[in-house]
Chains A and B, each alone.
Chain A
C-alpha cells in the first residue's frame, strides 16, 4: 500500500458545485497533512494545513481529517473554473526524535476540472 493515495480522477464538476477530493494514508502515526494546488505547467502551492480531527475552513476551502479512518479530504465550495488544477495531498515524515525537517510524501494528485 502506498503511503499516500489519491484518486487520480479526473473529477469534473459544474461551476458552483461542491468538489470533494479525498486522500488516504497508511501510517497511523501521521498527525498533520497538507493540500497543495498545482496548475498545469506550474509549481505546487500550499492551500491548506490540518492536524486536528474535524474540519478546518479557509474561505471556500474546507479540509476534513478523520484519523480513525485514515483519510483527509478537501472540499471546495462554489467551485469556479479557476479551481481547475491538480490537487496534491502530502504527509510529513518524522524521525524517531519527532523532527521532520520538512520531508514530505506526496500523493499522485487528483485532477479537478470545473466546467462552466
Chain B
C-alpha cells in the first residue's frame, strides 16, 4: 500500500490567499484525521471523519478553516483567507474503525504539508 498521500508537500502563499491541502487515506480505512503541528502548540487534532462524515471539528481554530471528505479516498482542508499564524505542518492520518480503552487501530500519518504564509 502507498500509505497516506498528501499534497502539496510544501506550500508558500501570501496572506489573504486561499490554501487547499489534500489527502488520500489508506484504502479501506474508515477514519481520517487532520492535525496541525507548530513549535508553540505541538501536534493538535483539528477535525476527524468517520465514513466521510465529520465527527468532531472542535479543534478547528476559526471559521477560516474548513474540511471536506467527498468520498472515501479524498479529503481537503481549506484555509480562506490564510494568515501568517497559520504557518505550520499539516498532517493527515487514517485508521481502521475500532477504538477501545485497551485496544486500538493504529493511525498512520501522511508525510505532511509544510505551509508558509507570508
Q: Which of B33, B45, B102, B111 contacts A42 (CB 8 A)?
A: B111
Q: How large is the interface on A (under 10, 10 to 19, 20 to 34, 35 or more residues)?
A: 20 to 34
A45 & B101 in contact (Cβ 8 Å cutoff): no
CB neighbours (8 Å) of B48 from chain A are 101-103
Interface flags, B86-118, vs A, CB<8A=1, else 0: 000001000100011110111101111000000
In chain A, positions 34-49 with a C-beta closer than 8 Å to chain B are 34, 42-46, 49
Q: Which residues of A contact B109 (CB under 8 A)?
A: 43-45
Contact present for B101 and A104 (CB under 8 Å): no
Residue of A nearest to B111 (CB): A43
| Contact in complex: A102, B33 (CB < 8 Å) | yes
Q: Is the CB of B31 within 8 A of A104?
A: no
**B12 proximal to A (CB < 8 A):** no
Listed in ascending order, the chain B residues whose CB lies under 8 Å from chain A are 31, 33, 42-45, 48, 50, 55-56, 91, 95, 99-102, 104-107, 109-112
Sort A-B residue pairs by CB-CB distance and give the 5 closest, nearest first. A43-B109, A100-B99, A31-B101, A106-B43, A108-B42
